[in-house]
Structure 1
């Protein structure tokens, strides 16, 4: 059994400076530390995201999502900062105003500059 104080999402990026600008400036995460190969950001009281430099890779799933209290406000804020949300017209992820109803929860998705899918979730 693993006993951990925290789980950190680790996301591959091709351009570390561009990733630091996106995660730090656009998403507003606090840079904790960096090395020539990566950077770590705080996402709240006990959550962190690491980005690490590597050649291009392709993923088809959400690599990390942020649990938020007011998804509409966060979507509006990020859209104003230039974040482009993924909208779906069919199936269980059909979005209205960039937000999908998922049972009692709601979600929204966007990509970082490397095409990694990130999400927001409320509920």
Structure 2
């Protein structure tokens, strides 16, 4: 059994400076530290996210999601900052105004500058 104090999502990026602007300025995450290969951010009270530089890589699934209290307001705020949300009309997810019902929860998805899929979840 692993005894850990937290799990940290790690996101691969090709341009660390562009990633710093997106995660720090656009998403508003608090930077904890950086080194030449990575940057670590605080996400809420007990979560952290790390972005690290690596060659281009294609991912097709959500790499991390952020739990939020008001999904519609968060979507609107990020849209005003230029974030483009993904919409789904087929399969298990169907979005309306960028938001899907997932059981008792709500979700929305967008991509970072490297094309990594990130999500928002309420509930």
Per the normalisation by structure 2, the TM-score is: 0.98
Once the two structures are TM-superposed, the CA of residue 106 in structure 1 deviates from its matched residue by: 0.7
C-alpha distance after superposition, 1:30-80 (max 9, x if no partner): 111000000001111011100000000011100000011110010010001
Once the two structures are TM-superposed, the CA of residue 3 in structure 1 deviates from its matched residue by: 1.2
**Distance in 2 of aligned mates of 1:93 and 1:22:** 26
2:57 equivalent in structure 1: 57
**Distance in 2 of aligned mates of 1:37 and 1:49:** 14
**Distance in 1 of aligned mates of 2:53 and 2:79:** 26
**Distance in 2 of aligned mates of 1:91 and 1:108:** 15
- State the number of aligned residues: 123
C-alpha distance after superposition, 1:87-122 (max 9, x if no partner): 011222110010000110110000000000000011
Per the normalisation by structure 1, the TM-score is: 0.98
Structure 1 gap ranges (5+): none
**Distance in 2 of aligned mates of 1:92 and 1:100:** 10
1:95 equivalent in structure 2: 95
Structure 2 gap ranges (5+): none
**Distance in 1 of aligned mates of 2:70 and 2:3:** 30
Over the aligned positions, Cα root-mean-square deviation in angstroms equals: 0.6
2:37 equivalent in structure 1: 37
1:110 equivalent in structure 2: 110
Once the two structures are TM-superposed, the CA of residue 7 in structure 1 deviates from its matched residue by: 0.6
Instruction: Map 1:67-78 onto structure 2 (within 5 A).
Output: 67-78=67-78
Structure 1: which 4+ aligned runs deviate by more than 2 Å? none
